[in-house]
Amino acid sequence: MKRPLEGVRILDFSTLLPGPMATLLLAEAGAEVIKIERPGQGDDMRGYAPKFGKDSVNFALLNRGKRSLAIDLKQAGAVDKLRSLIESADIVVEQFRPGVMDRLGLGYEALSAINDRIIYCAITGYGQTGPRAQVAAHDLNYVAESGMLGLSTGSDGAPVVPPALIADIAGGTYPAVVNILLALRQRDQSGKGCKLDISMADNLFTFLYWALGNGQAEGSWPVPGGELVTGGSPRYQIYRTKDNRFVAAAPLEDKFWSNFIDAIGAPRELLDDSRSPDMVKTRIQEIIATQTAAHWQTCFIGKDVCCAIVASMQEAFADAQFKARGVFSRGLENGDKRISALPVPVQDVFRGPADCGTYPALGEANKDFGID
């Protein structure tokens, strides 16, 4: 079956994570992605470690199925060399600071004058406008300034560094893909492209819907460790086991909470956790600490308790559930080396058959597009 984005051409000027992951998702759905890179060095991520062949495994995972075109954008005549590609492009993705692409002659106004059907997606930390538009920052900064990091604290009350690049992916990649697809649909109706201003920091507030609601409706702004989903409730908590592993317990609803209390052999008096949640948390921790993680894992089977043992990354990769779902079934290869491709949230019905793909060598497409 033809993939939904076949025939769509994307010029990807982005580097590192947010933009390349966005164009990876679109490539998986059939788009032709031409990655524009600096001659000699290419995307900075090529040089990261560990390696998968000549380039980093991070670069390989994020750029599966794309083409690479190496060109010095600061060189005189660069725009002219790219003109035929601009004329045929549907989408441009970039993540420079505001104004950089304009100075290179590749901003939205310049490109739309060549091709008014272009959908131009600019991904930045703080967006194209505002007092911080030109400020240098990374994922941790955006998470900090959105208020999200302040709600994630350790036992000493200090914020904990998140294990995922939340702003890059949840605030940058996914909103970029959503809005690109919406822009394609709008172009079907209007015949015209548009410019998309994706701010990674802005988009984090979607994940804090409950905190914004509580604060605005009742003046009850959340505090670290004091809310339902930040550690304030025994029903949404992490408990340490006898062998220093952890139970992630989330029996929020009364039926699950009742099942959980029975499953761990706790006294029924703990069912009412509204009067003294800290006391209930302490009592449950004492019970969980008497047995190993393996004991509790067995204990929870078939009990409808919304509990899980905290897995290592290696355990998750080998988990029977994810294997049954084929999460890691697609491959990425480099010569005689093969690893699992990065799982992406694109349904199989929109993708080609499961395969073992490759990633582009720097400038491998230059000859094909007549660029020296």
| CA 123 – CA 129 distance, rounded (Å) | 12
CA distances from 249 to 148, 283, 312 (A): 21, 14, 17
Q: Is 150 exposed, middle or buried (0-12, 13-18, 19+ CB in 10 A)?
A: middle
Which of 12, 43, 90, 168 does the annotation list as catalytic? 168
Query: Could you tell me which of 222, 255, 44, 41 has the C-alpha nearest to residue 147?
Result: 222
249 φ, ψ (degrees, to nearest 5): -105, 125
Strand partners, 226: none
The single residue of 44, 72, 80, 138 carrying the catalytic annotation is 138
Q: Residue 158, Cβ neighbours under 10 Å: how many? A: 10
Q: How far apart are CA 88 and CA 324, in angstroms?
A: 41
Of the candidates 192, 5, 30, 20, the one whose C-alpha atom is nearest the C-alpha of residue 123 is: 20
102 annotated active-site: no
Whether 295 is catalytic: no
One-letter amino acid for residue 251 of the chain: P
Active site residues: 138, 168
